[in-house]
A = this chain, B = another copy of it.
């Protein structure tokens, strides 16, 4: 019959009520040290009678552990982060850990603020989708100050922290390979392709061809373009740079414009590859508004497997990322680091699945 006092019953109250010292009360309530069965029972009863609830703040202050992990997501509203977060939260809950969530909107200033907030709240570990893969001074500092970090989706160059990412390059290369095998030679691509410091698109394509670009710490959309280019190289197909549509930072309207432009050309591509979920939805919108019928007028492979891709007619062939698994892996990693695991940094690269559906066929001649 727990009372409902104003949330103030402390361990001292319980001790007094049970007729023991605060130390003893602490031992049974905190589950550490030795206590006689008799006192254990007395304390438990007292605690229940008073409606005692442990104050983890005080505990954390002294133990130095909060059993809380911080997460900096780009935007939880997106299916990507929502699923990853689900995986994180599940693993955390199973271990009695809490999850403190923030959004960066992929903006560095936000990320810096978020990390600061989380660190001040003394999180035991940080899972972050870094939005600057080259500098990230705040992450270096956090890591140096002893806070374990796990990166997801992309990696900061030179940061000594674990990571869980996808094999973006291979996923794209395989998919483009499928299109090429189906007979396509002009394959359009719609991708975000923001934040690239090594020059412009031309320079990037040249760099990939020349083998002078390290794909490890590129943003996913660039890694996917990397795979797109590689597939062309492997099959000896020249790259028409004008078929690569850059949508810019998660802007639906820019992506739509780029797609429309690509699909309204007289020499439009016979196949299209969209580099993430947003691009896929936008492209699909453009495709239906142009009344292009899949797969006859256009073949399509999308990165990210969204639910509608299953029940459209025809179904959309899609690259599925193991999203909750990514979150789970990240959470397991951070928990093992928190647990004291001190081995060298680990970089988990997860594998995609290609969901083959009906949106790919051999190209049709566009002009009869």
| Contact indicator B98/A145 (Cβ below 8 Å) | no
Cβ distance A263 to chain B, nearest Cβ, rounded Å: 14
With an 8 A cutoff between CB atoms, is A24 at the interface?
no
B102 touches A89 (CB 8 A): yes
Encode contact with B along A79-90: 1 for CB under 8 Å, 0 otherwise: 101110110011
Which single member of B7, B99, B284, B324 contacts A145 (CB below 8 Å)?
Answer: B7
In the bound complex, do residue A76 and residue B76 qualify as a contact, i.e. CB atoms below 8 Å apart? yes
Decide if A100 is an interface residue (CB 8 Å cutoff).
yes
A135-169 contact mask (Cβ, 8 Å, vs B): 1 or 0: 00000010011110000000000000000000000
CA distance A141 to B3 in the complex (A): 9
A66 within 8 A of B: yes
User: Does A20 lie at the interface of the complex (its beta carbon under 8 Å from any beta carbon of B)?
Assistant: no
A311 contacts partner chain B, Cβ-Cβ < 8 Å = yes
Q: A102 is contacted by which of B2, B99, B102, B114 (Cβ under 8 Å)?
A: B99
Cβ-defined contact, B98 with A117, below 8 A: yes
Number of identical protomers: 2
Complex contacts, A96 vs chain B, CB 8 Å = 117
Indicate if the CB atoms of B100 and A98 lie closer than 8 Å: yes
Pairwise interchain contact A68-B121, C-beta atoms closer than 8 A? yes
For A308, what are the chain B residues with a Cβ–Cβ distance below 8 Å? 281, 284, 306-308, 312
Find out whether the CB atom of A145 lies under 8 angstroms from the CB atom of B4: yes
Contact yes or no, A311 B288, CB < 8 A: yes
Q: How many residues of A contact B (CB 8 A)?
A: 62
Nearest CB in chain B: distance from A24 CB, A: 21
List chain B residues, Cβ under 8 A from A119.
53
Q: How far is the CA of A99 from the CA of B100 in the complex (A)?
A: 6
What is the minimal beta-carbon distance from A276 to any residue of chain B, in angstroms? 14
A60 at the interface (CB under 8 A from B): yes
Task: List B contacts of A55 (CB < 8 A).
Answer: 61, 120, 122
Which residues of chain B have C-beta atoms less than 8 A from A103's C-beta? 86, 89-90, 93
Does A5 belong to the interface (CB within 8 Å)?
yes
Chain B residues positioned under 8 Å from A310 (CB to CB): 285
| A44, chain B: closest CB distance, angstroms | 16
Q: How far is the CA of A117 from the CA of B77 in the complex (A)?
A: 24
Give Cα A270 to B141, complex, Å: 63
Asked whether A35 is an interface residue with its Cβ less than 8 Å from the other chain, the reply is: no
Contact A53 B311 (CB under 8 A): no
29 of the cross-chain contacts (CB-CB < 8 Å) are: A4-B141, A4-B145, A51-B141, A53-B119, A53-B145, A55-B120, A56-B120, A56-B122, A57-B57, A66-B121, A68-B100, A76-B76, A76-B82, A76-B89, A77-B324, A79-B82, A81-B82, A85-B101, A89-B103, A93-B103, A99-B101, A99-B102, A101-B101, A281-B311, A288-B311, A288-B312, A307-B308, A308-B312, A312-B312
4 tightest A-B contacts by CB? A308-B308, A4-B144, A285-B311, A7-B145
Other CB < 8 Å A-B pairs besides A56-B122, A281-B308, 10 of them?
A2-B141, A51-B145, A53-B116, A56-B120, A61-B61, A99-B102, A100-B100, A101-B101, A281-B307, A284-B311
